[in-house]
Amino acid sequence: MGAMMNAALIRVAASLLAMLLLALPFATPAQDLKPDTQGRIDFDSFTPKTMFDLARERRQNWAAQRVWGELSLPRGAGDKVPAMVLMHGSAGVESSMSQWVDALNDIGVATFVVHVFEARGVKRTAENQTLVPYSADLMDAFQALMLLAGHPRIDASRIGIMGFSRGGSVAFQTAIEPLRRAVVKSDLSFALHIPVYAGCNQVYWSPRVTKAPLLNLVGAEDDYATARPCEQLAERYAEAGTPARTINYAGAPHSWDAMYQPFLLEGATSAAPCGVLRWDIEAWKITAERTGATIDAARLGEFFDSCVIRGVHVGRNESAFRQSRADVKAFVRQVFFAGK
């Protein structure tokens, strides 16, 4: 009996060891960050082949990827400060990002600008969004959240996310619980969300949301992502219990915070004419909201080929930038510093 018991224990131990070894490639161990650590921080992430692979935790399709972000701590702040993860758009990290770093640092909030593209050998995706799967942006955002939560100077309960264009989609998606729980194996979540001229024509949806406050910023003259789909998406979050507010800036095109004057970006692709496609995460059913038709995943390429256009306007609108900067600072102060 004793020999049989020992053999059984050995088999169990061997099985557990095998499971541990299989899990190791997907582990993201906490880094030994110091209180004064800032600047460039390299961290581990993954590139899931598709959003389905992320949502369903098909980890065999999560390619390990080393990426980085730039952390800026505010001066003269106390021991624990709030932080914002900043996610760039299709053009990569542009010089305009520094305006938001300065604005948030100025009110005592740390910023972490995530570089999604460069580590993956890509400069921009405006002309071809398939160069980097959208799942990679979302994965990097969640990995950045977990990284910052372990920083000695950052308050893990006050980490928000702000994203622009393609990154704005991530600012929406990180509030979806099935997506968060596929990556973050704890109760850690973003404390606020700020999508800025986000792409809202492809929506991954579940009514199970974190309910963290959301500020949705759109431009009335945006012919790239367009405003109405994001207004409707914010309304959907509100119906699910999220304190959500949308601000629409008159005269503002896409990328109204850019450091260049408005121009026609001829090669950029836009799916705005296709209407909203909604992926219901639990059933993974794809619906064209304009017609109510169900779209077979195998025919998505054909669907987009019939409606995607090229040529959109992007560029600065000074009035919209100044007002959006003030609106963001007021919102972040309200959420992060209420009662302090």
DSSP class per residue in 37-74: --EEEEEEEEEESSHHHHHTT-GGGEEEEEEEEEEEPP
Any domain includes 2 = no
**What is the spatial distance between Cα 325 and Cα 304, in angstroms, rounded to a whole number?**
34
Question: Tens digits of per-residue pLDDT, 227-271?
Answer: 999 999 999 999 999 999 999 999 999 999 999 999 999 999 999
Map residue 184 onto helix, strand or coil.
coil
Any domain includes 103 = yes
Any domain includes 232 = yes
Output the pLDDT for position 314.
Answer: 98
Any domain includes 295 = no
How many other C-beta atoms lie within 10 A of the C-beta of residue 91? 20
Any domain includes 307 = no
Closest by CA to 327, choosing from 190, 192, 166, 191, is 192
**Domain range for 78:** 29-252+317-336
Any domain includes 71 = yes
**What is the spatial distance between Cα 265 and Cα 78, in angstroms, rounded to a whole number?**
44
Closest by CA to 141, choosing from 122, 108, 106, 166, is 166
Output the pLDDT for position 168.
Answer: 98
User: What is the identity of the amino acid at 314?
Assistant: V
**What is the spatial distance between Cα 317 and Cα 307, in angstroms, rounded to a whole number?**
28
Any domain includes 69 = yes
Any domain includes 259 = no
pTM: 0.91
- Number of structural domains found in the chain: 1
Output the pLDDT for position 12.
Answer: 43
Closest by CA to 336, choosing from 161, 189, 191, 154, is 191
**What is the spatial distance between Cα 93 and Cα 88, in angstroms, rounded to a whole number?**
5
CATH number of 76's domain: 3.40.50.1820
Output the pLDDT for position 189.
Answer: 98
Residues in the chain predicted with pLDDT less than 50, given as ranges, are: 1-5, 7-10, 12-27
**What is the spatial distance between Cα 205 and Cα 191, in angstroms, rounded to a whole number?**
19
